[in-house]
Amino acid sequence: MRFTRALLLFAAGAAQAASSWSFDDASISVAAKKGSDAIKEKFSQKAPLTKPVGLGSTDTVKVILTAKEDGKAKRPHQAFVTIKEQETGLEAPFTLTVKDTGRAVVQISQKDLPVQFLLSPKPLKASVVIGSFGEARAINTPVFDIEIQTDPNAPAPKYDAPLRYGKKPEIHHIFRADPQSPPKVISMFFALAVAATVPALFISWLLLGANVNHLAKALGAAPLSHITFFGSIIAIEGVFFMYYTSWKLFQVLPVAGVVAVVTVLSGTKALGEVQSRRLSKER
């Protein structure tokens, strides 16, 4: 009882199932040149090929099948072999030439494929799409993979992707390197070496008999001039120092001018006093 009920349900299910297209006697062959011997492999709707089919630059892939509606061979309106590239999803359909008997044939070679397919890193997936008007259900089954074998001697196919509006890669300007100083140790060493020449100079002067014995006499003879003269020479150095640290040119020039006038005026007197000491044989 249970067995017959199950059988009845199964039969009802089979009858309920809409009519559908299918294909049979399907085979794929790869010929090295048109007409020469080919490697033939069979496939079916339930058993697609497991190994990818290699397609060289002069090879032609030939797919033959018989389209059937509900088991009877019939000519469908749509019989395509659609080849899909996995990276971008691009698809290219190839129409099968179908005779009234349902026998369908298509030949595909590398030159029929879009150039993006020839540059794809992964194998291409081919499916058979059979459909037509009316109630019968159409089918879209993957059947085999194609591996493109490019000719190593021929130049590689070129593909320039078309311009599409979108964000572009960021650019950050690379700046020239800032000027660098040598290590501070070296600078310190040489700075100290230079600074050491000053005491060396003064000491050597002392050894040669340097003295300021006539200072009292000079100040006694012309105190204001000498003080002003020597002071103005120190002041000029002071003006240069201010120029170095903060003043601008046109702040420096008037001050330097004033100090120069002072130097000249006091200098005549002060150096005149020095001259008088020279003329009196004290120098």
Compute the least distance from the CB of residue 186 to other proteins, in Å: 9
17 binds other proteins (CB under 8 A): no
Interactions with other proteins, residue window 30-89 (CB under 8 A): 75, 77-78, 80, 82, 89
Q: Which of 55, 60, 66, 54 is nearest to 27 (CA)?
A: 66
How big is the chain by its Cα radius of gyration, in Å? 52
Q: Which of 201, 224, 258, 264 binds other proteins (CB under 8 A)?
A: 201
Whether 83 and 91 have beta carbons less than 8 Å apart is answered as yes
Would you call 96 exposed, middle or buried from its count of C-beta atoms within 10 A (0-12, 13-18, 19+)? buried
Q: Which of 14, 211, 250, 279 binds other proteins (CB under 8 A)?
A: 211
Whether 260 and 213 have beta carbons less than 8 Å apart is answered as no
By CB under 8 A, the count of residues binding other proteins is 69
Q: Which residues of 141-175 are buried (b: 16+ CB within 10 A; e: fewer)?
A: bebbbbebeeeeeeeebeeeeeeeeeeeeeeeeee
Tell me, residue by residue from 240 to 279, as one string, x for binding to other proteins by CB under 8 A and - for no binding: ------------------------------xx--x-----
Residue 100, Cβ neighbours under 10 Å: how many? 8
| Count of residues in the chain | 283
- Judged by CB under 8 A, which stretch of 53-61, 146-154, 185-193, 250-258 contacts other proteins? 185-193
280 binds other proteins (CB under 8 A): no
Compute the least distance from the CB of residue 146 to other proteins, in Å: 17
Compute the least distance from the CB of residue 149 to other proteins, in Å: 26
Torsion, Cα 262 227 222 211, to 10 degrees, reads -130
Q: Which of 64, 73, 129, 262 binds other proteins (CB under 8 A)?
A: 129
Binding site for other proteins (CB under 8 A): 75, 77-78, 80, 82, 89, 91, 93, 95, 97-98, 129, 131-135, 137-138, 140, 162-173, 175-176, 181-182, 184, 187-188, 190-195, 197-198, 201-202, 205, 208-215, 218, 226, 230, 233-234, 237, 270-271, 274, 282-283
